[in-house]
Amino acid sequence: MSLTRRAFIQRGGILTAALALPQAAQPPAPKFRTNLQASSLAPFVDALPIPEVVHPIDHHPSPEDSSTKLPYYRIAMRQIESRLHRDLKPTRQWAYGSSCPGPIFEVRSGQGILVEWANELPAQHFLPIDHNIHGAESDKPEVRTVVHLHGAKVRPESDGYPENWFVPGKSAIYHYPNHQEAAMLWYHDHALGINRLNVFAGLMGAYIIRDEFEDSLNLPKGKYEIPLAIYDRILDLESQLNYPVTGDPKAPWVPEVFGDCFLVNGKIFPYLEVEARQYRFRVLNGANGRFFHLSLSNNQSFHQIGTDLGLLPAPVDVKRLTLAPAERADLVIDFSGSAGEQIVLKNDLAFNVMQFRVGKKTASGAGALPAALRPLTKISESSALKTRMLTLVEVDDLYKRPVHMLLNNTHWNMAVTENPVLDSTEIWNLINTTDDSHPIHLHAVRFQILDRRSFDIAAFWTQKKFVYFGPPISPDPSEAGWKDTVRAEPGMITRIIIRFEGYPGRYVWHCHVLEHEDNEMMRPYEIITASG
């Protein structure tokens, strides 16, 4: 958001003073709200929960080949109550199944499944809907859901298109072919206009694809492979989710949400007892808007072995890991040199996330990490049939709320302007003219990051030309694998190269700060066949 629009801006947990609006332009003063202070809670008193692995209930014919039977799952979305911390009352949440995060899918590459997503939620939402938001008008049902399997290569009808929502009492059956390499994907709500509310309420879960190549690497597995869904929330004094609003009941949308309660797998500041050996952690940033900068309190380094969509070419030594909303990281931490210690996973060096309690005796581990992981063939820039220049902009009218966050200065319901040809390659230049870092996600495809380059925003708008402040910057080694979400940094042009493999049809691309996504920072795109 523009620095002229709010008193403070937070990027990745760092709070910076900003300019205030003139008095006449100030939005209505927010109502006084009393929130729970996370610092008042005793840390590390709850064991880290591990979501259960879900199992199929039947086998049904494949939509691609009726002679083939596929595992059939049914996942209901329900309202639940659960304790987020030992000392808190139960908190109302929305869940896939009976927990938040929801159950873990474990599937094999190339072996498809069918999932029936059933909406068994109440008819009324318990979080504040802004009817000014496109897709959330007052004539729409309050409670609507549609599920997106983030990172999946699927046909459009199973992708969770934001307008394909369904209401309580209805369900949808999706086919996930799993024709992709081993990786941790995640599923979450994607309903147009209220996605931020449904995810904040709890609708998310992990989906792990495995394959033979990954199996051969002898990485930590079983009880030594732990999923970590990390996100932040705001609670009121009654331990209930407290989604922030502007104070204007007719326009409650806020541009970002940052809570001081850090949850891992549904618990605030949990602990995990580990043996003094190697562990593999599948980490997801499931926050609405917070960027996490993770490190260990003993200053120990760890290894990143994978990104959003699979293994890196080789392990990368890391001491501080940055994860934007929706990004994933595959990590290996070796506790063998820390027997008897208590190590805290920190955010921004100062804030507790969770604690590792290392056993007193060194245990046998999986051995040394392989020097090489999965080979990666770089996509050649010369193979790109098209290069697109796509702006990330903010339309800020001081007298009209809410502000619009736009991709290519275009609203959701305007004609499709990005129509790549199936199996073709394109380069997308993400031209960020705003003050925020935007995690940009493309549905249905994977891509590689080429580089980032600082440019003069004023010259771009006034002279219609690019004036650069320095040479292109290569992506970090930790970003050198396959991605589905990329951090488009402020005042920079981020270049990605994409091969549009998979299926023809309509998908979306968007910012994964959910408050931005809900307020126009999302666009449809269409993969077309060569014949058009």
Write out pLDDT tens, residues 296-313: 999 999 999 999 999 999
The pLDDT, as a whole number, for residue 437 is: 97
Whether this model's pTM surpasses 0.75: yes
Residue 20 confidence (pLDDT): 32
Q: Give the three-state DSSP class for 109.
A: coil
Is residue 11 in some structural domain?
Answer: no
Report the percent of the chain where pLDDT is more than 70: 92
The total number of structural domains that make up the chain: 3
Give the lowest-confidence range in 8-22, 268-282, 426-440, 482-496. Answer: 8-22
| pLDDT tops 50 at residue 391 | yes
Residues 374, 216 contacting (CB under 8 angstroms): no
Shared domain check, 390 and 264: no
Query: Quick one: pLDDT at residue 9?
Result: 31
* pLDDT band (50, 70, 90) for residue 282: very high
Q: How confident is the model at residue 402 (pLDDT cuts 50, 70, 90)?
A: low
Is the confidence at residue 29, as pLDDT, over 70? no
Nearest of 23, 29, 15 to residue 246 by alpha carbon = 29
Q: Are 304 and 312 in contact (CB under 8 A)?
A: yes
413 lies in the same domain as 482: yes
- Per residue in 167-203, pLDDT (tens digit) is 999 999 999 999 999 999 999 999 999 999 999 999 9
Does residue 171 sit in the same domain as residue 277? Answer: no
Instruction: Give the pLDDT confidence score for residue 247 in this predicted structure.
Output: 86
64, 205: one domain: yes
Q: What is the mean pLDDT of the chain?
A: 92
- Which residue range forms the structural domain that includes residue 278? 222-362
Question: Which pLDDT belongs to residue 365?
Answer: 63
Q: What is the mean pLDDT of residues 514-527?
A: 97
Q: In the predicted model, what is the mean pLDDT of residues 283-295?
A: 98
Q: Please report the pLDDT score of residue 23 as a whole number.
A: 33
Average pLDDT, integer, range 412-436? 97
CATH code at 415?
Answer: 2.60.40.420
In a domain, 45, yes or no: no
In a domain, 282, yes or no: yes
Q: Give dist(CA 53, CA 324) in Å, integer.
A: 26
Note whether 211 and 245 are same-domain residues: no
- Rounded Cα–Cα distance for residues 316 and 195 (Å): 34
Question: What pLDDT does 298 receive?
Answer: 97
| Secondary structure of 269-332 as H, E, C letters | CCEEEEEECEEEEEEEECCCCCCEEEEECCCCCEEEEEECCEEEEEEEEECCEEECCCCEEEEE
Nearest in space to 284 (alpha carbons), one of 316, 352, 330, 320: 330
Question: Is residue 7 very low, low, confident or very high in pLDDT (cuts 50, 70, 90)?
Answer: very low
Query: Is there a single domain that holds both residue 408 and residue 441?
Result: yes
For residue range 91-147, what is the model confidence (pLDDT) as tens digits?
999 999 999 999 999 999 999 999 999 999 999 999 999 999 999 999 999 999 999
Higher-confidence residue of 355 and 30: namely: 355
Distance CA 9, CA 436 (A): 9
pLDDT > 90: percent of the chain: 87
Task: Using DSSP, state whether 508 is helix, strand or coil.
Answer: strand
Per residue in 435-470, pLDDT (tens digit) is 999 999 999 999 999 999 999 999 999 999 999 999
Tell me: do 84 and 182 sit in the same domain. Answer: yes
Q: Are 387 and 478 contained in the same domain?
A: yes
pLDDT at 213 > cutoff 60: yes
Task: Identify whether residues 314 and 287 lie together within a single domain.
Answer: yes
For residues 16 and 281, give the distance between their C-alpha atoms in angstroms, rounded to a whole number: 32
Q: pLDDT tier at 520 (50, 70, 90 boundaries)? A: very high
**369 within a domain of the structure (yes/no):** no
Q: Are 12 and 292 in contact (CB under 8 A)?
A: yes
